[in-house]
Structure 1
Amino acid sequence: MNKKYLPSALIMYLNYFIHGVGCSVLGQAVIKEALAASWGVEAMAITAISAALGLGRLIALPFAGPLSDKLGRRISCVIGGGSYAIYLIGLALAFNAGTNGGYQIAYICAILGGIANSFLDTGIYPGVAEVFYAAPGVATMGIKFFIAISQMLLPFVLGIAITTTASGLVSYNPLFIVCGVCYIVLAVLILFAPLPDSDAKKEKKEGLIESLKKTHFSIESVAMILIGFTCTGTFQLWLNCAQNFAKEVVGWADPSIMQTYYSMGTLLALIVTALLTRKIKDVRFIAAYPAICLAALIVVLIGKSQPLCIAGAFIIGWAGAGGLLQIATSVCNMLFPKIKGTVTALVMIASSLCNYTILTAASKMTPSGVMTMNIVLTAIGVLLGVFVNLRYAKMVELASAE
């Protein structure tokens, strides 16, 4: 590792520190209520804005990766940071617009936020791996750490960012604006920061469509892609809707602290799971973690108490958001060596498709209905995980033969 790249790595990681706020802020019950009051809609309708982030990712994923490889990580980071700034500052402008198109403005800005996420992913994941080339796994794990830390601090920041408008509406616009400005600053800094040359930039890369034309999919590869859908649904539905369940069903006036316990679970999972994978095969977590999430969701739905909501937040943060999607992607790379790039891309597309479709559906449901849908989706994930584990020996044999 060249030490001159350390400031560049920090700049890239800070993008994900702010992203931790951007990707979870619309899941906070207090922010949902503030936005809903301004736009004249139900609080659960704000979940559709979160779903638009997934739509933006779906739009950008097919070409964000090839662009990063051809034009460099710097361009991807700048496009991602600039688009994210528009999303966050746009939320503040949408709040001010009120019932005069505020909801529609926010939806469009959220699509840009999803596009930003795709460009940041395809620029920063390989970017930090190239800086810390001796330990790329640790480098990318650092991204999840920065996200989890900011999410853990978010409930405390909300108490500082709250303001009241002249008309008496509660507003969190200072948080949106400050985060948006931070993205602009980071985008400018990355323009001048030294970045290691990428070998990928010098090679001709196949696009997703070209790769798909040459790919033969087995039932196991389809199962792995579907796991990308189900595991994303587990933590996204919790992240965006669990506080509404705690508030409306359990009767908890301010459940925002659930976000902190969720993030604590994620942080600990990143450490403990990384240690466990040295002794336990990665594929085992694909069945075990969804099963743990399923049990937690059922207990929370039946028990309906604050302690259970807190425990559920910690468990879903651990077993649902603590690297399960990354583990599924890693298993794909190992089991499908000839199409690992394609399968990985499809897992992430399935993840984004889930984010859009499931959250859109959730925006029209009651909090209890959303919890039930999450249980069904997670149960499907458990079945898929068990199937992959049962087929694992045969899949390893085939992968070795290839």
Structure 2
Amino acid sequence: MKNRALSTSAGMYLNYLIVGMSIIILPQNMDVLAKQWQTNLAGVAVVISAVGLGRVFVSLVSGVLSDKLGRRLFIILGGLLSIVFFLGELLCTSLTLALIFAIIGGIGGAFLDSGTYPALMELFPEHKTIANVTLKAFASIGQFTLPLVISFIVAQHLWYGWSFIMCIAVLAVVVLFITFFAHFPVREQQTNVQHSNSHVVKNHSKKSGNIWIDGLLFAIFGYTADGVFLLVSIWITKYGQEVVGMNDVSSRALVSYYSVGSISCVLLTIWLSHRGVKDIQFLLSYMAISFVSLLVLYLFPTPVISTLMAFIVGFSAAGGVMQIGITVMGTFFPNEKGTATGIITTASAIAGFTVNLIAGALATNLANVILFDVGLALIGFISAALITIRYHHIFDSQTEQKTAVPLTVKHS
């Protein structure tokens, strides 16, 4: 069973390697796609935003259907729709079709999320947070790898579409594997594990958050956290070219440094979590670092500073802070984890749609895009600070008798 769980999770992690590439494959090919779709950079930004719109449509519903119809189905559907996205964006020649395929890609991403996150928690019930944060690591590896692939394609004067074909091929292999060879646990069997820990949950659930106050704070956090990392991953290459004055290869490498920072944060977070650092401490620290590093990136647009800040922003904004936020909100609402997750993922999906519309309007001066990101990071930091205050207000009275319980609950 352990080997089956590892092989099945490997397929899902490979999916998220391509998810990481899908986030930046359109911005990494902005100029050529703008010509192919008969539009400009602002038009491409609208297409990128439409991916978030697709997630908004189904993110709340797909999780419920995943519980009823099974994880495998939604992972397969997500992979197939992602293939349609890559193939459609590669071949279409109009902005309208590009928008349609972007929405399909967003729906595919939502399906992957609704199948993959619960499946990993069911495969690894004692390491749920680590299993899900590791998805972020693989997505970051994809974001690190793709610019290197595209740089090679550009240097060799090859067809830009080979990067799309590579993603399609990997997804096709994973879909076949999930369809015919992957093994998912029977979800009813998970109740035994949940029941064995029920006394811990009950003890920790004497107090919970206010759905209106805390729900709003976490929605704001989800929106800003997603917006911050999306804007950097999408626009950092063009920012390096047009504002910092870096050449094509160096500017594309900024995304790779950003992704290395993300991977580093995931590893550090896992290490520190095993040593007793609470998720709420990560939440506030990472949002503070995001704000400061983005502000420095905006104020000092030099090649050295941009390279360093790309790494630090990737570390703080794209190293699993969203997954940590979902875990913390689950602590606030221990008996409503599905609703809690839905609130954050819906807010992040709305961010995926709206922030790029705003960025597209600001794209005539890319420095303004980074300034907008600084503002989002500041709002995110304020929301994280208020969440931290609420956390201590609600749970501090239980700290003395349950010193280790929060960690046990979140990582059970």
Q: Does 1:361 pair with 2:358?
A: yes
**Whole-Å Cα distance in 1 between the matches of residues 155 and 358 of structure 2?**
31
String of CA shifts for 1:230-277, please: whole Å, max 9, x gaps. 111111111111222211111112100011101110111011122333
Per the TM alignment, residue 14 of structure 1 is displaced from its structure 2 partner at its CA by: 1.3
- Determine if the alignment matches structure 1 residue 305 to structure 2 residue 297: no
What is the distance in 1 between the residues matched to 2:186 and 2:359? 41
In the alignment, structure 1 residue 191 sits paired with structure 2 residue 179:
yes
- Partner secondary structure for residue 363 of structure 1: helix
Whole-angstrom CA distance in 2 between matches of 1:269 and 1:194: 29
2:33 to 27, 32, 35: 35
Quote the residue 2:206 is aligned against. Answer: none
- Following superposition, the deviation at residue 280 of structure 1 comes to 3.1
Aligned to 1:257: 253
Taking only the aligned residue pairs, the percentage that are identical comes to 30
Greater Cα offset, 275-284 or 369-378: 275-284
- AA paired with 1:299? V
CA 1:297–1:371 in 2, change beyond 3 Å: closer, same or farther?
same
Q: Which residue of 1 aligns with 2:323?
A: 326
- 2:337 corresponds to: 340
Q: Give the match for residue 96 of structure 2.
A: 104
Alignment map for 1:212-361 (pairs within 5 Å): 217-254=211-248, 255-277=251-273, 278-361=275-358
Structure 1 residue 23: Cα displacement? 1.6
**Which stretch shifts more, 289-298 or 275-284?**
275-284
Displacement over 4 Å in runs of 4+: 162-165, 200-203, 397-400
Which digits, 9 at most, give the CA deviation of each residue in 1:32-84, with x for residues without a partner? 11212323433243222221111111111122112211111111111001000
Are 2:107 and 1:122 equivalent residues in the alignment?
no
Aligned pair count reads 378
User: Residues 19, 148 of structure 1: CA spacing in aligned structure 2 closer, same or farther, 3 A cutoff?
Assistant: same
Query: Take 2:188 and 2:338, find their aligned partners in 1: how far apart are those partners?
Result: 13
Stretch of structure 1 that moved more, 71-80 or 277-286: 277-286
Structure 2: which 5+ runs fail to align?
192-208, 400-412
With the length of structure 2 as denominator, give the TM-score of the two structures.
Answer: 0.85
**Are the structure 2 counterparts of residues 276 and 163 from structure 1 closer, same or farther at C-alpha, using a change threshold of 3 Å?**
closer
Match of 1:139 among 131, 145, 152: 131
| Cα distance between partner residues in 1 of 2:369 and 2:253 | 20
What secondary structure is seen at the aligned counterpart in 2 of 1:217?
coil
Q: Which residue matches 2:26? A: 26
The CA deviation at 1:119 is 0.9
CA distance in 2, matches of 1:27, 1:259: 11
Deviation at 1:2, TM superposition (A): 3.2
Residues 1:139 and 1:77: Cα distance change in structure 2 (over 3 Å)? same
Tell me the CA shift for residue 197 of structure 1. Answer: 3.1
Q: Secondary structure at the match of 2:89?
A: helix
Task: Tell me, yes or no, if the aligned pair for 1:261 and 1:313 is still in contact at 8 Å.
Answer: yes
In 2, Cα distance between equivalents of 1:276 and 1:104: 47
**Greater Cα shift, 185-194 or 325-334:** 185-194
- Stretch moving more, 135-144 or 186-195: 135-144
CA distance, structure 1, for counterparts of residue 47 and residue 189 of structure 2? 35
